[in-house]
Amino acid sequence: MEALEHFKIPLEKIKLATNNFSDEAFIGQGGYGKVYVGTLTLSEQQIRVAVKRLDCQFGQGNREYLMEIQTLTCYRHKNLVSLVGFCDENGESILVYEHAKYGSLDKYLSNPELSWIQRLKISLGAARGFNYLHDEVGPQHRVLHRDIKSANILLDENWEAKVSDFGLSKIGPSNLEFTYVVTVACGTIGYIDP
């Protein structure tokens, strides 16, 4: 993790940005833990951020935390969520992302105000993100997301799709007919193949 020192954000800055993880800053929770919104000051610039705070009781842990950091510090694409940094102080495992103004796609699927053109653009953006992971990250490997669902597609201020939540991802070779066998099911019930 020494090579990633420039991604470390002090816990005090995160607490300041989220008003000490206040209820007012709380915007959701998932398998990783609670998510908060805040404004973080980095290099004298204010950035609107989403802060994911690990809570092991929700099922994920250190492996997912490290996979998220590894994936988002190595791979950048306009249709992947951007990692601002992370914090691993005082027993906390926190991930800090650029905030996606409109949240996750699942909140809009039943909304009749979301036009078919918008839906198509969102779908194409998500597909471009997954295509990048599967086929364009490098000639010798690929990233398999393993938790594809509408809740993991975020929407920025331009309704541009951003693939998120890489904790369950696997990185494998791309030059083999069969990359590896996964014998343990993972993902979200209702989205994974029975």
Low-confidence ranges of the chain (pLDDT < 50): 194
Same domain, 42 and 24: yes
pLDDT at 96: 96
- Looking up residue 162, the CATH number of its domain turns out to be 1.10.510.10
**What range does the domain containing 9 cover?**
2-98
Supply the pTM of this predicted model: 0.85
pLDDT at 193: 53
Cβ neighbors of 148 (< 8 A, separation 6 or more) are 130, 187, 191
- Written as six digits, the tokens of 123 are 């779908």
State yes or no: is 88 an active-site residue: no
- Written as six digits, the tokens of 7 are 């991604």
Same domain, 146 and 86: no
pLDDT at 15: 96
pLDDT at 171: 79
Same domain, 137 and 76: no
pLDDT at 141: 78
Structural domain count, the chain: 2
Q: Does 32 fall in a domain?
A: yes
Same domain, 124 and 158: yes
Among 61, 80, 98, residue at a domain's last position: 98
Among 41, 74, 98, residue at a domain's last position: 98
Q: How far apart are CA 73 and CA 83, in angstroms?
A: 7
Per the rule left: phi > 0, alpha: psi between -120 and 50, beta: everything else, 10 is beta
Contact (CB, 8 A) for 36 and 21 = yes
Q: Does 166 fall in a domain?
A: yes
Beta bridge partners of 51: 36, 96
- Looking up residue 16, the CATH number of its domain turns out to be 3.30.200.20
Q: How far apart are CA 12 and CA 35, in angstroms?
A: 17
Residue 66, burial from CB neighbour count under 10 angstroms (0-12, 13-18, 19+): middle
Q: Does 39 fall in a domain?
A: yes
Same domain, 116 and 33: no
pLDDT at 194: 46
Q: How far apart are CA 152 and CA 148, in angstroms?
A: 7
Phi and psi for 41 in degrees, rounded to 5?
-100, 115
- Chain segment 139-166, per-residue pLDDT in tens: 777 888 888 899 999 999 999 999 998 8
Q: Per the residue annotation, which of 88, 147, 156, 193 is the catalytic one?
A: 147
Q: Does 179 fall in a domain?
A: no
